[in-house]
Every structure is written in C-alpha cells, then in structure tokens.
Structure 1
Amino acid sequence: MPSLFDPITIGDIALSSRVVMAPLTRNRSPGAVPNTLNATYYEQRAGAGLIITEATPVSHQGQGYADVPGLYTKEALDGWRKVTDGVHKAGGKIVVQMWHVGRISHTSLQPNGGQPVAPSAIRAKAKTYILHEDGTGEFTDTSEPRALETGEIAGIVEDYRRAARAAVDAGFDGVEIHAANGYLIDQFLRSGSNQRTDAYGGSIENRTRFLFEVMDAVTAEIGAGRTGIRLSPVTPANDASDPDPQPLFDDVVKGLARYPLSYIHVIEGATGGDRNFQQEGSSFSFEALRSAYHQAGGKAAWMGNNGYDRALAIEAVESGRVDLVAFGKPFIANPDLVERLKQDAPLNTPDSNTFYGGGAKGYTDYPTLTQVAAE
C-alpha cells in the first residue's frame, strides 16, 4: 500500500514523496523577471516532493496579472535559472506551470496596450491585478477581449513549444500546461467562452483541438515524461462555464491517455472552495473521469488538488484514488510542510494580507519547525 510520504517516479521525474506544492501566484516578480527573493522562497520549499511554480506566461500576450514572472525574455530565464539551481541544490524537483491567460487580462498588461485575446469576444466577469504608475496595485475588471483569428492560433501553439524548450534549458525538471481555471486553453474547452464556428469551436472535438495541438508541440519538444497538465472540470473560476462538463472532460482525458505524460493534475470542485461544487446543476464524477483516463490506457500519475488536509491526503493515496496530492495555501506559511505532515505537527497560519505583492513579509519569513524549536 503506497503512502503519502513514499517516493514515486512520475514519467521522467523521480520524487522524494507524493506531497506536491501547488502553483501559487504571489506577484513578486517586477518586470516579469524572477529575482533573488523568489529564489529564496522556492528553495525554502524544496522539501516538497515536487514544486509546481506559480503560473508563468509563455508570452507577453499571455500576461494577465502584474508582477508575475515570464518565460519569454532572457532576463526572466536567467532569473529562473537561479531558482532551479537553488531548488536542486536543496535536493528538490521543480516544474514550471506554463500559462496563457487569454481574456483574463487588462489592456495595461498587454503589448502596446492592445486587447486581450480569447476564443470569442466575450468579456469575462472576472478581476485581474494591475499596478498604477505610483506603484500601488489593485484588482480591477478584465478588459474586453478580441476573438483570435484562426491563423493566429498556430503562433500561440509555437509560443508554448518555445517556452517549454526555454524552461528545460533553464533547469526545470519539466513543465505543467495550465489548462484550468478559465484561462486560454480552458476558454477554448468550455462552450460558455467558446462560440467559434471554425475548426476550434462547436463540437467537443473542435473545442479540444487547441489543447491537443499544444500537447503535441510541447511533448514533441521536451518529451511527454517531462510534461504534466492541469485541469479543473467544474470550477467557476474566472467565469468558466460549460453546461455539460462530464462528456467534455472525459473526452479530454481519453485524448491525453495517448501521451506518456508525467502527471494529470485535477482540481476537484471549485478552485479554492467547495470540493463538491457542481457547475450549472450538472452532475460530475471525478471517479468516472479517472476511470475514463485509465480505460483509455493512460498511465500518468493522478494528482488531486483542492482542500486536502493531512488525513484526506493520506487516505486518498493509500486508497489508490490519487498518486499525488497538491497543497496550496499550507505551503505559503509552512516551507517545511512535508516534515510537518509527517510529524502531524501544527501548521503556521498564512497571512492573507500578504498573499499578493509586497516583499519578504508573508513570503520568506515563515518559520520552520527547527527554527521554532531553537527559539
């Protein structure tokens, strides 16, 4: 019987445990360039079996929030090299979450102040985070997007391929393709945001086309064993909606089964909220989703995410329901979370006032068990 704390090899990546640090946007990379503070933050958390970085845009067009790091400039990649070197020196493994926000952006964040892009010109009922000239930040409504021309889509697929290569060259152990939470790939998948009439809209086959083009490009470039993907079948995050998500996401995972991926990362329920959330009154079964994947021949590790505590994580792994468990907020305040979970030790409480933006406070100053014992 596997344990939450047992080692596991996922694709081409060997992990020390099945405890994963989930991607956590922290808005502390001015100019989209990772810095020394970011490197310290990730190195502190290298005890995780796997670190998935904060979501990281594959291009300037893919940027949707102020002060998040990128994967598309030399300066950013040099910054990421300091992060990966630090994590590896501390004995950890780290993959980068590759991101294109699509319509969840603001004109002030886009190249030349242009409109964000989306499958269809439908404005999201959502917020994004911007900075003003005086350096203060605020959450504000997303801007009106424009619909991508069919001929533009291949260029975005190329952005993903190029970013995946750059990530591996910068020392990452692999990549996670962000296809969740109402961002660009998810926008193509869901009928609430995709009303196209070309080869990328309408049927499930057409709405999944962009996702599989990205998968083909990335896995061909760096290998499927270094590639994971994140899905959120029922979350309403960022105005994501679809009236019938079960057949859509069953089809998605059946298609993913043909790639020998590292892992499938699934957000169960509403992101950061109700684990039992069902969108638009539909009934969704995550057990059926996992079964559909395995029946199609899928062999990747299955990662559960959303509201896991120690007991639920241990039960989920021991029962075989998941192979890995991703923890988000607990890793913000507990850099030594794996050790705390092993010992069933008390957890530090995160300060929500310092989640987004700022400096070391609420970022790199949370104490470990060892530091507390020494006081």
Structure 2
Amino acid sequence: MMIAYRLQPVIIFLYLVPIFFANVDFGAKGEFFLRSHLIFYPLLIVILLQKNVLPLKKVTLIISLLLVILLIYLGDTFLNRPYYLASSFASTLLFFTYVIVTYFFFLFVKKYDCLQQFYDLFYRFIKVSLILVIASWGIHFSSGIYVLADDGYGLFRPHALLSEPSALSLFVSWFFIRSIRDKRPVDLLIALTCMSLSGSLILIIVTFSTFLFYLSLSLSASRRLVLYIAILAIVHFVVQAILDYSRIGVDYLDDPLIKLKAALEAIVYLGSEGYNPRLNTVLDLFRFMLENNRLYLGMGPLSDTYLPFSSIAGSASSLLFMLIFNFGILVGSVIIVILLYNLLKLPDKSDSSVLFICCVITTSLNSAQGMLVYQIMLLVMLYAKNKENTFFRPF
C-alpha cells in the first residue's frame, strides 16, 4: 500500500506528460513532434503491472478483448483494403495503447482513490502550459522570434508544447471555470490572457460555451433545456449579424470577423460559398462514405487515420465525425443521444462534471491532438460511471 501511495504522483505524471508535451514549434522554421507517448505509456503499463496494483482478471479480460478486436479489424482491412494493412495495424496498435493505458490508469485511480490528486496535478500542468503561452508571446513581442508557436494564417499563434492553438481549448476552458469556482483571480487573468493571445477562435468558442453550460448546472433539467434553446436563439441572431457584416478592401486574414463570416457562410451553404476547412473535411468524409455505400455501418475502425478520404486533412475533424466515419451514422446517432442525455442529467459542479462538459464541447468542434485529448474524455466517463448512479446511464 505504501509503495502504491508513493507511486501516485509518478503514475499521474507519466500519464499527463505525453498530453502536455507533444510538440516543439518554431513557426516557419519548422516543428518537432515529441511523440513521448511512445515511451511514457508503455513504461506506465509496465510499472502498473509490475507493482501489482491492477486486478489481474480485469486486466486479462480487457487485453484479451482488445486482441480479438484487433484481429477482426486486421482481417477486415486485409480482405477489403490489403494495401492499407500496414497503416491499419500501426493505427490500431497505437489506438489500443491509448485505450489500455487509460483503462489501467482508471483502475489505479479508482483503487487508491487519487482522483483529486489527478485533478490538482492536471491543473498545474495546464497552468504551466498557459504560462508558456504568455512567455512565448513575450519573446516574440521583444525579438520577433517564434518559440512554441505556429505561423498559421500569417499570424503569431502560441500554443505551448501542445500540437496547435486549438489544442488548448479543453485545458483553458476547464482551467477558466475552475479558477472562477475556486476564486483564483490571478489564474483567471492568465486564462483570459491566453485566450486573447492564442489566435484560436475554437478556443474562445469552447471556453465561453462551457462556461455557459457550467452556469446552467444549478438549474433543473427542464429549465436547463429552456436556457439552451434561448442561447441557440441568441446564437442565431449573432450568426445572422456576422453574415450581414461587410468591409470593403480588407483582406481575409486581416479581419477576424471576415474570417468568421467566411467560415459561417461555408456552413450555411454547405461549402459552396465561404471557406471552412473543417466543414470541407466533414463533407469529404460523408462523400467518401456514400461513394463506398458505407454510410450506415462506416468504413471500419480507425479508417479515418489511413484512408485518403480528403485532400484537406489526414483525419476526421472531431471525435463525433471520427466515430461516424469508422462505425457509421447509426453509431453516431446513438452517441449523440447518450451525450445529450448526460449533459441534461449532470449531477453537480464537480471537477468531473465540468471536465465532461469541456470534453464534449471540445471534441465536437475540434480534433487537435486526437486520442491524447479523447482519452481524457474516456477517463472521465469511466470514473463517473463508476462513482455516480445518475451519470452515464442513457436508458
């Protein structure tokens, strides 16, 4: 027991490092993906197995199940797309690594009741990332050098050691809400500063959306639904105002509202007008599924990572569309129902509830860092399902 207690901060650290230390970016000079998960996660699995902190029966069951699924996936790939077998194997193996390490980590957290310690360290990792964003901006402002920032859209966009500015969305939104809840004005100022410096519209939308959702948690489910309808109505009028916005002689990249208008036009007119690469990726995804008659059942697990369905992106633009492409629109519809049900039934304003909101909204709009972000949602769902009778019970 004492060994396991001493291991707690080490285990949590090993789990979080690959999430927050993913990429070193020097703008136009290039970037370097650290891929630390390839070292830390196998090491984490070995430590947990060696220290005998996991229930052997559950571990054996989950590994056996995943191996069977792996064989089925590879069999489907070999029969239908043998020339993608190597890519399929690599993607599937990496995906299962994320799933296994998250499940093992969940068992560890559950057994030694160290969820609060996880959240505290999670908060510190986020704070370090946000401080790096501010420091990166300071370096650029004083010297013009790009450090831990990209030059997308011709702008300076800091993102610490994450993959891109929008990858901050989940972490800033949760940090923002927790700093308000715990009355930490300095941390709130740090979060607001990073939002203004990141240059990511997705980050701003996710943060304020999750904050509004957080405020609604004190309401009953029926009043919460009424509030959401009212918010949608307000969003409708705001969107209409942006679509009516015009400014002659201004370049697309020089005016954030023009850029936002182009993105909204693409959504309203389904890509025939405006410019929205995320939407175009989604349209390519559905077009590919229709051409191959796989709209309802999908293209097969992890297909979005190795099938060239789009010339714009190498994977689906969000978790929902990743699941739809892989498993079909039927599975996607079931997932939407489950998520909506649980969003209306969230039991409290705990860290788990707030993080679940942040995960749902972030992964619905964004795919930055992929499974390194998606696995956090899996962790929250596993723990909440185990601890709360009213949480994650769709039927």
TM-score under structure 1 length normalisation:
0.33
More helix by share: 2
Which has the larger Rg? 2
More strand by share: 1
TM-score under structure 2 length normalisation:
0.31
